[in-house]
């Protein structure tokens, strides 16, 4: 995978109050604007790990995801210029490395009534979300942006829910992920069986290792230990073993 860039946050621009974790638009030292996800939010570092790992898996599968960067911020300095006490506290609690995504000016939230992706793209997105157990791609919370005529996948902090309980994670590697039935694109995903083999073959152990190795040690340390890298790779690899129950479940859900 392409190395993930690390930038310094220079300016807090504005909060994005749509999300519970209070992300924000910030300006970095490359003069670009980014949507920052704070390590000090209530969702904690595991949300950032899921955001990075799931987002880069999507990119490896050929899906469009805004560039993910590591965003270093000086909590004390940045909080000094912010008037809102809640935001001040969040910035101070997030001193150090955070995660940010390229800000897409003019992007609009995907509306399933106004624009329909073709069956191949819908199937690949559904396959990906079932694989990473992403609960956040429903009609109520689509987490898809339409930008320059292409769908962009955002907000994967709720994926990889297995890492919230490692004591049961290994036994859930073949979880069929029944919540795929609520996926906003499932009615259009008629090519799941056709795309399955190629997508699974793309995610080799080396690809998955490269993605997991990009997670900063500080996030893993805060989330339970840097030794978890092997656990992430092992579970994600085991999940690809045939027959893939998450694909079978998605196909069943379409027929119901």
**Residue 20's pLDDT band (cuts 50, 70, 90):** low
232-241: pLDDT as tens digits: 999 999 999 9
What angle do the packed helices 205-213 and 228-238 form, to 10 degrees? 150
Structure-token pair, residue 161? 């829910």
pLDDT of 180 reads 98
Share of the chain above pLDDT 90, in %: 82
| Cα maximum dimension of the chain | 55
Q: What average pLDDT score do residues 61-78 get?
A: 95
pLDDT at 89 over 70: yes
174-215: pLDDT as tens digits: 999 999 999 999 999 999 999 999 999 999 999 999 999 999
pLDDT of 156 reads 97
Check: CB of residue 192 under 8 Å from CB of residue 249. no
30-51: pLDDT as tens digits: 999 999 999 999 888 999 999 9
Between 1 and 165, residue with greater pLDDT: 165
pLDDT of 76 reads 87
Q: What average pLDDT score do residues 123-133 get?
A: 98
pLDDT of 148 reads 95
pLDDT of 18 reads 65
Structure-token pair, residue 181? 């039935």
Q: Where are the beta strands (DSSP E) in the chain?
A: 6-15, 24-28, 33-37, 68-73, 96-102, 108-109, 144-147, 150-153
How distant, in Å, are the alpha carbons of 9, 94, 95, 140, 197 from that of 77?
Answer: 10, 12, 10, 37, 50
pLDDT at 222 over 80: no
pLDDT of 226 reads 65
- pLDDT averaged over the chain? 94
């Amino acid at each position: 995978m392409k190395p993930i860039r690390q930038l310094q946050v220079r300016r807090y621009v504005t909060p994005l109050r749509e999300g519970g974790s209070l992300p924000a638009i910030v300006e970095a030292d490359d003069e670009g604007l980014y949507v920052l996800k704070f390590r000090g939010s209530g969702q904690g570092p595991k949300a950032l790990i899921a955001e990075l790992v799931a987002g880069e898996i999507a990119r490896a599968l050929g899906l469009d995801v805004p560039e993910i960067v590591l965003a270093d911020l000086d909590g004390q300095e940045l909080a000094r210029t912010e008037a809102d006490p809640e935001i001040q506290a969040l910035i101070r609690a997030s001193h150090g490395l955070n995660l940010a995504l390229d800000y897409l000016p003019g992007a609009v939230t995907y509306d399933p009534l106004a624009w329909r992706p073709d069956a191949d793209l819908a199937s690949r997105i559904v396959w990906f979300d079932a694989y990473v157990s992403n609960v956040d791609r429903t009609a109520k919370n689509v987490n898809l942006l339409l930008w320059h005529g292409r769908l962009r996948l955002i907000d994967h902090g709720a994926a990889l829910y297995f890492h919230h309980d490692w004591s049961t994670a290994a036994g859930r590697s073949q979880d069929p992920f029944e919540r795929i039935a609520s996926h906003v694109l499932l009615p259009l995903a008629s090519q799941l069986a056709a795309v399955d083999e190629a997508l699974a073959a793309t995610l080799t152990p080396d690809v998955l290792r490269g993605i997991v190795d990009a997670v900063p040690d500080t996030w893993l340390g805060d989330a339970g230990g840097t030794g978890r890298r092997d656990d992430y790779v092992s579970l994600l690899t085991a999940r690809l073993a045939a027959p893939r129950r998450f694909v079978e479940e998605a196909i069943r859900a379409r027929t119901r």
